[in-house]
Chain A
């Protein structure tokens, strides 16, 4: 998948879709329409072809009819039997002329009638009326006609000035002649009748059609031997350039398109063969011409598609932009999002008309808020942990403790109490090791208690008989884990307040284990919590529980709050934490935990 801008992708996708749809439609339309058109064209070409065949045949038939009619005339038979007495401008000649003219009819079915008698006479009636002696054997067509017997012989078009009126006979005209042998009563050939007609009349329908139609089809007519009959008045080179339509017409099945090898274009070829004279009519037209309207339509369609595409592009651009804009805004918001700016952005800043994006935006805002909350909680926890540790550290690395303990050690040394000095130094070492061990993981309660023992021992050595302490913890709970330095501040607190009174002083650590909980009680021998102090502590615990901020820990006596918060973080709902006074009025703090029910 190529990466790119969403907007571009959406846009391009739409464009491709538009192209595909319109392209498919165009192809389908083109093929469907062109098929119909070609079929229609083929039909019309076929009709046209048939028309040409019919009309040409009609004219040739007329020529033939004239021929036949002449042949059946007795007068003509007589003339052919013996034309020696015939003289031009004689009565017989005039009768013959009259007869022939009447056979030709008022509509002049043929241009010229020539009668060739085997005696060597040529009788001409029509445009040219004459009677000449000829040498029949010198005519090239004689053999062909005689071979055909009584059948008609149609010549190829030929050029001649013979039948032109003398005035206008400047350029030769194209003619086709129809020959027929004439027989007498004894079925003996006596002569040949020739009817001549102008090509322009024979092919008048075709010529007329071709003149009238600009994009007229090309029409070719071949005789049975494949010689080109029409068009007739063309140069040999031109004739040579005509492709082999005849072969195509006779070999290939009609209806298939023909590849014009000369022009290299596909052509629609329609052929038809006259049943009358065996001529093959070929109409050829480039398919290109047929498809011109389709192509014109396609051009129009293309323009429409372009316009539609442009419109669609504009719409899709707008749509993709409207889709992308909120995403971009969201992206910007996400990019700008930092821990300290979490949830400060206005979620309403993004305006979108898309529901999903709206939901996404809201979800992001929600996530941002949740993240903020959880971050705050995390930061709060860390801060608290850090603070509590630093506070614990502070109270323990409180120079006075070491200072005083060292003073005590000096005194012991002065007193030469060597053993005591050793014990004190060892205790101090253990205390320092426990405190400075940079380990955030919880400690075993046993370790914490041992540490307190060392601590209290140091105090005891300093205060001697004035201070006594008791530690009585149930061994069953020594394996419990607690945050490091969680009980020590309570002991320190007890010392701080317990020693405010006159000696002797007493510190007691006891434990209570019930079925579902364990507690450790730290009791001093002082005057207990004053009501004001109780109030202050309760107030600060309340602030710490409800507010997000940590109350200031440095305030006197807030070691208790520190322990409370850390213990609550550690135990959650299982926490036990009580502070107050014993019935004797001494201060007492109880810390403990409900054991999770199994």
Chain B
């Protein structure tokens, strides 16, 4: 049985502990690796653990659930989220949907709903894993680290435009994602995530230069569904916005 890591954030200790025990008692393969009572504690733990799933309350001290979600999405776009809330507020729901939250549960949490939510998430994980299993499978642990790193690099080159969940790839090989990252870094001096980003930016540059596609289209073509996020990443790497970059190319 595979283990998916989870972090639970909830300011009410009673509910927090209850939630954790429920998730673990369902035996759906989710392991709660950390818990937090504030948003920024949760954020620190996410950075530390890079979990597959974050279960968070919307209303929390210091940093609320939505802000935590936004922050996590920027750095870990593939992390699944379950939002729990006492508010059945449309505004929250809208923002949560926009931020691709997997499930939205109202407090007090119905155990059956929680079970179903976790089941749904596990299914998406399993489907993704099924995809990855053609390339990455458990027997690969017998391969040399170099081979594994190369396999991953080749996979990234061909699939950078789709979402790649390193956690699940690692899980397929019964590794942790951090181990995988370590191995990759060892041979290519960069993390897989940064590698993907470089591939995407290069491709985007090419398209900006040579095609008439709109920036939105280019952003989606290279794997960013959020044009604004794409533009920020692009500017961070090149010093220019995609629009400025294209203007410059035409001027030359």
A residues contacting B by CB (< 8 A) are 400, 403-404, 406-408, 410-412, 414-415, 461-466, 499-503
Contact assessment for A503 and B14 in the assembled complex, using a CB-CB cutoff below 8 Å: no
Asked if B14 contacts A502 (CB within 8 A), the reply is no
Per-residue contact bits, chain B 77-118, to A (CB 8 Å; 1 contact, 0 not) = 000000000100000000000000000000110010000000
Mind listing 25 A-B residue pairs with CB under 8 Å? A400-B86, A403-B86, A404-B12, A404-B86, A404-B107, A407-B15, A408-B12, A411-B14, A414-B111, A462-B12, A462-B13, A462-B15, A463-B11, A463-B13, A464-B12, A464-B17, A466-B11, A466-B13, A466-B37, A499-B11, A500-B62, A501-B61, A502-B61, A503-B11, A503-B38
B144 at the interface (CB under 8 A from A): no
Look across to chain B and name the residue whose beta carbon is closest to the beta carbon of A411. Answer: B18
A415 to chain B minimum Cβ distance, whole angstroms, is 7
Known: A415-B18, A502-B62, A503-B13. 20 other contacts (CB 8 A): A403-B86, A404-B12, A404-B86, A407-B108, A408-B15, A411-B14, A411-B108, A414-B18, A414-B111, A461-B14, A462-B14, A463-B11, A463-B12, A464-B12, A465-B13, A466-B11, A466-B37, A499-B61, A503-B11, A503-B61
Given contacts A403-B107, A412-B14, A465-B13, contact A500 B61 (CB under 8 A): yes
Determine the distance from Cα of A403 to Cα of B15 in the docked complex, in whole angstroms: 13
CB distance from A261 to the nearest CB of B (A): 122
The chain B residue with its CB closest to the CB of A400 is B86
Judge whether B126 is part of the interface by a CB distance below 8 angstroms: no
Residues of B close to A499: CB separation below 8 A = 11, 61
Q: Complex: how many Å from CA A502 to CA B107?
A: 22
B19-78 at interface with A (beta carbon < 8 Å)? 37-38, 40-41, 61-62
A403 to B12, CA, bound (A): 13
Give B105 Cβ to nearest chain A Cβ, in Å: 12
Closest Cβ–Cβ distance, residue A100 to chain B (whole Å):
164
Binding site for A on B (CB under 8 A): 11-15, 17-18, 37-38, 40-41, 61-62, 86, 107-108, 111
Q: Determine the chain A residues whose CB is within 8 A of the CB of B108 once the complex forms.
A: 406-407, 410-411
Complex Cα spacing A465 to B17, Å: 12
- Please give me the residue from chain A that is nearest to B12 by CB atom: A462
Q: For residue B111, which residue of chain A has the nearest CB?
A: A414
Complex: A500 Cα to B111 Cα, angstroms: 29
Please give me the residue from chain B that is nearest to A407 by CB atom.
B108
Residue numbers in A under 8 Å from B18 (CB-CB): 411, 414-415
By the criterion CB–CB under 8 Å, are B86 and A464 in contact?
A: no
Q: Kindly list chain B residues whose C-beta atoms are within 8 Å of the C-beta of A407.
A: 12, 15, 86, 107-108
Question: Given contacts A400-B86, A403-B107, A502-B37, are A408 and B61 in contact (CB under 8 A)?
Answer: no
B15–A411 CB distance below 8 A: yes
Report how far A570 CA is from B18 CA in the complex, Å: 45
Main secondary structure of the interface of A (DSSP, over half): helix
| B40 surroundings in chain A (CB, below 8 A) | 502
Which A residues are in CB contact (< 8 Å) with B12? 404, 407-408, 462-464
Distance between Cα atoms of A560 and B166 in the complex (Å): 51
Q: How many whole Å from A401's CB to the nearest CB in chain B? A: 10
B160 to chain A, nearest CB (A): 39
Tell me the minimal C-beta distance from B113 to chain A in angstroms.
Answer: 13
Query: In the docked arrangement, what's the CA distance between A461 and B14, Å?
Result: 7
Please report the C-alpha to C-alpha distance between residue A451 and residue B13 in the assembled complex, in whole angstroms. 23
Q: Give the chain B neighbours of A411 by CB distance below 8 A.
A: 14-15, 18, 108
A415 and chain B: residue at smallest CB distance: B18
| Chain A residues whose C-beta falls within 8 Å of the C-beta of B62 in the assembled complex | 500-502
Complex CA distance for A500 and B11, rounded to whole angstroms: 10
Return B20 CB to nearest CB of chain A, in Å. Answer: 12
Residues of B within 8 A of A406 (CB): 108
B38, A502: Cβ atoms closer than 8 Å: yes
Q: Pick the residue among A410, A415, A464 that contacts B13 (CB under 8 A).
A: A464
- The 9 lowest CB-CB distance pairs between A and B, nearest first, are A464-B13, A407-B108, A411-B18, A462-B12, A410-B108, A466-B13, A502-B38, A500-B61, A503-B37
Please, how many angstroms separate the alpha-carbon atoms of A327 and B183 in the complex? 105
Collect the chain A residues with CB atoms within 8 Å of residue B17's CB.
464
CA of A403 to CA of B108 in the docked complex: distance in angstroms? 8
A503 to B17, CA, bound (A): 15
Q: Which residue of A lies closest to B41 (CB)?
A: A502
Contact B61 A464 (CB under 8 A): no
Q: B37's closest neighbor in chain A, by CB?
A: A503
Nearest CB on A from B238, distance (A): 39
Taking the closest CB of chain A, its distance from the CB of B25, in whole angstroms, is 11
Contacts of A463 in B (CB 8 A): 11-14
A417 to chain B, nearest CB (A): 10
Smallest beta-carbon distance B26→chain A, Å: 13
Residues of B near A465 (CB, < 8 A) are 13
Kindly provide the distance from the CB of A460 to the nearest chain B CB, expressed in whole angstroms: 10
Write the chain A residue with the least CB distance to B39: A502
Residues in A neighbouring B111, C-beta threshold 8 A:
414
| Alpha-carbon separation in the docked complex, A408 to B14 (Å) | 7
CB A428 to nearest CB in B, in angstroms, measures 15
Which residues of the partner chain A approach B86 to less than 8 Å between Cβ atoms?
400, 403-404, 407
Q: Which residue of B lies closest to A499 (CB)?
A: B61
Q: In the complex the two chains form, what is the Cα distance from A503 to B38 in whole Å?
A: 8
Could you tell me the distance in whole angstroms from the C-beta of A412 to the nearest C-beta in chain B?
7
Smallest distance from the beta carbon of B114 to chain A beta carbons, Å?
Answer: 12
Residues of B within 8 A of A464 (CB): 12-14, 17
Complex Cα spacing A372 to B230, Å: 66
Chain A residue numbers with a CB within 8 Å of B41 are 502
Q: In the complex, what residue of chain B is closest to A408 when comparing beta carbons?
A: B14
Q: In the complex, which residue of chain A has the Cβ closest to the Cβ of B22? A: A414
Please indicate the chain B residues that have their CB under 8 angstroms from the CB of A462 in the complex.
12-15
Return chain A residues, CB-CB under 8 Å to B37: 466, 502-503
Task: Name the A residues within 8 Å of B107 (CB-CB).
Answer: 403-404, 407
Chain A minimum-CB-distance residue to B19: A411
- Min CB distance B109 to A, Å, is 8
Kindly name the residue among B38, B61, B62 whose own CB sees the greatest number of chain A CB atoms within 10 A.
B61
Residue ID in chain B nearest A464 by CB atoms = B13
Q: Report the bound CA distance from A50 to B32 in whole Å.
A: 159
Nearest CB of chain A from residue B36's CB, rounded to whole Å:
10
Query: Roughly how many angstroms separate A557 CA and B13 CA in the complex, as a whole number?
Result: 25
A499 to B226 CA separation, bound complex (whole angstroms): 34
Give the shortest distance, in Å, between B8 (CB) and chain A (any CB). Answer: 14
Considering the chains assembled together, what is the distance between the CA atoms of A464 and B37 in angstroms?
Answer: 12
A-side contacts of B13, CB under 8 Å: 462-466, 503
A499 to B111, CA, bound (A): 27
Q: How far is the CA of A499 from the CA of B15 in the complex (A)?
A: 16
Interface-central residue, B11, B14, B38, B86, by most chain A CB under 10 Å: B14
How near does chain A come to B86, taking the closest CB pair, in angstroms?
Answer: 5
Query: A462 to B14, alpha carbons, bound, how many Å?
Result: 5
